[in-house]
Amino acid sequence: MRSRKPAVRHVACTAALALSFVLVPGLAGAQSAARKVGRGLSGMTCGFLEVPGNIVEVTRERGAGWGFTLGFVQGLGMIVVRELVGVYEFVSSPFPLPSGFEPIIQPEFPWDYFNQSRSTGGKGPNKAGQRG
């Protein structure tokens, strides 16, 4: 006859996993070490989004002619910046540097260029009180 302990253990593990899926996104929503790890991973893996992102941003600011020329060149340059900042944020994620785990560059994530509600500007170093 089989013991019920493996079934109880399976249910407990499933409940713990489900609870973690509910709680972890709320913790990662604020500026935290978990969000900093996410920024680092996204910066290291999605840096290529800087090219279309800068094209979109410069097009919104100056028009299509500038967007496809200047935005393209800025995007190429920002790939390197995004990748290096991603490595830094991933490695330094346990430490609250800069204070409060604030992002180093704006937009916080490479895909944030494509949000219509995002304000333009601010892709350089984070300035005090500036939100992207």
Predicted pLDDT at 127: 38
pTM above 0.85, yes or no: no
Predicted pLDDT at 120: 46
Residue 71: CB atoms within 10 A of its CB come to 25
Segment-wise mean pLDDT, segments of 10 residues, the chain, 132 residues: 67 63 53 93 95 96 95 96 96 90 93 74 43 43
Predicted pLDDT at 79: 96
Predicted pLDDT at 52: 96
| Amino acid type, 50 | E
Residues 115 and 57: their CA atoms lie apart, in Å, by 10
Residues 44 and 38: their CA atoms lie apart, in Å, by 10
Residues 108 and 94: their CA atoms lie apart, in Å, by 18
